[in-house]
């Protein structure tokens, strides 16, 4: 793909807006369409575009398997950690109300953390799936 | 007026689908699918106005981004028979 300069330039221009839009979907998810899963997929699309245009080897340097594997576990840990924190604080699993004194603050904090966990895991798993499929050959 | 626009976009989507099925070459099909994706973006945006839900613009934006990446992926797979691409040589890393 070395000689496709238009493709390379347009990919370089497009990757930052894609990442920014993923963050918008992530953090605006409670007011509009979106949420952790969608944001994770959009965030992963930026890495997939990078891998498509600049090659799998370079993309593996940007997102090494060790990092993506750890991140996919970290997201689940955040999700389950919020749930068990609520249990330890005297509520049910994922009952956000015990996380703060005020109802709205607690709900906001709980949803924010859980969606962040979902987003991190989905993004890391999508990147891992694409890299292993693309690296397998035909 | 938005209903009429929706119907017009649907008609052009049918035309793009016909081209994608008839072919004859791979490039015709890729171009037809790409045009179909662009029409889908327009359709979602117009439907957002019909149903008075401006949130649909976000969905249309996502569709535009995914459509672009998907077209690149299909074309690369067609040319190199692999998504990983040709093996990078040394000076390929120079402009990292």
Span B28-55, pLDDT tens digits = 899 999 999 999 999 999 998 888 888 8
Q: Residue A1 has what pLDDT? A: 64
Asked if B51 has any chain A CB less than 8 Å from its own CB, the reply is: no
Average model confidence (pLDDT) for chain A?
A: 87
pLDDT band at B95 (very low <50, low <70, confident <90, very high): very low
d(CA B52, CA B88): 49
Per residue, the 3-state secondary structure of chain A, as one string, reads CCCCHHHHHHHHHHHHHHHHHHHHHHHCCCCCCCCHHHHHHHHHHHHHHHHHHHCHHHHHHHCCHHHHHHHHHHHHHHHHHHHHHHHHCCCCCCCHHHHCCCHHHHHHHHHHHHHHHHHHHHHHHHHHHHHHHHHCCC
Q: Which of A11, A61, A133 sits opposite B83 (nearest CB)?
A: A133
Asked if B70 has any chain A CB less than 8 Å from its own CB, the reply is: no
Q: Is the pLDDT of residue B82 over 60?
A: yes
CA distance B84 to chain A (A): 5
Asked if A21 has any chain B CB less than 8 Å from its own CB, the reply is: yes
Residues above pLDDT 70, as percent of chain A: 97
Measured between beta carbons, the chain A residues lying within 8 angstroms of B87 are 57
Contacts of B17 (CB under 8 A, 6+ apart): B32, B36
Under 8 Å between Cβ of A76 and A121: yes
Per residue, the 3-state secondary structure of chain B, as one string, reads CHHHHHHHHHHHHHHHHHHHHHCCCHHHHHHHHHHHHHHHHHHHHHHHHHCCCCCHHHHHHHHHHHHHHHHHHHHHHHHHCCCCCCCCCHHHHCCC
Average pLDDT over residues A18-38: 85
Q: Note the pLDDT tens digit of each residue in A67-121.
A: 999 999 999 999 999 988 888 888 888 888 887 788 888 888 888 889 999 999 9
Please name the residue of chain A whose CA is at the shortest distance from the CA of residue B69.
A49
Q: Is the pLDDT of residue B84 over 80?
A: no
Tokens of A129: 């799936």
Query: Which whole-number Å values give the CA distances from A45 to A40, A85, B19, in the listed order?
Result: 9, 32, 28
Q: Residue A57 has what pLDDT? A: 84
Tokens of A136: 């397998």
Higher pLDDT, A135 or B32: B32
pTM, two decimal places: 0.84
Q: Which one of A16, A32, A39, A130 makes the best mutation probe of the B interface by having the most chain B beta carbons within 10 Å?
A: A32
Query: Count of alpha carbons within 13 Å of A6, Cβ hemisphere only?
Result: 1
Domains of chain A, by residue range, sit at 5-135
Q: Which of residues 25-64 of A touch B (CB under 8 A)?
A: 25, 32-34, 38, 42, 45, 48-49, 51-53, 55-58, 61
d(CA B32, CA B51): 28
Q: Residue A138 has what pLDDT? A: 53
Q: Note the pLDDT tens digit of each residue in B52-76.
A: 888 888 889 889 888 989 888 888 8
Q: Residue A105 has what pLDDT? A: 85
Put simply, the answer to whether A45 touches B59 (Cβ < 8 Å) is no
CA distance B24 to chain A (A): 24
Measured between beta carbons, the chain B residues lying within 8 angstroms of A138 are 81-82
Q: Is the pLDDT of residue B87 over 60?
A: no
């Amino acid at each position: 793909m070395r000689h496709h300069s238009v493709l390379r330039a347009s990919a370089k221009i497009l990757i930052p807006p894609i990442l920014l839009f993923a963050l918008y979907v992530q953090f605006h998810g409670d007011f509009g369409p979106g949420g952790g899963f969608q944001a994770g997929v959009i965030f992963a699309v930026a890495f997939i575009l990078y891998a498509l245009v600049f090659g799998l080897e370079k993309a593996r340097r940007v997102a090494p398997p060790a990092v993506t594997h750890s991140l996919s576990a970290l997201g689940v840990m955040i999700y389950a950690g919020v749930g068990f924190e609520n249990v330890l604080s005297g509520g049910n699993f994922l009952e956000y109300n015990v996380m703060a004194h005020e109802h709205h603050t607690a709900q906001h904090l709980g949803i924010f953390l859980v969606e962040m966990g979902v987003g991190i895991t989905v993004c890391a798993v999508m990147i891992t799936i694409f890299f292993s499929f693309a690296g397998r050959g035909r | 007026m938005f209903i009429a626009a929706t119907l017009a976009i649907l008609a052009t989507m049918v035309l793009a689908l016909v081209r994608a099925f008839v072919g004859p070459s791979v490039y015709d099909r890729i171009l037809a699918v790409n045009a179909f994706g662009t029409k889908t973006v327009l359709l979602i945006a117009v439907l957002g106005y019909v149903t008075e839900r401006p949130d649909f613009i976000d969905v249309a934006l996502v569709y535009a981004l995914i459509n672009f990446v998907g077209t690149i992926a299909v074309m690369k797979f067609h040319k190199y028979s692999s998504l990983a691409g040709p093996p990078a040589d040394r000076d390929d890393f120079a402009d990292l």
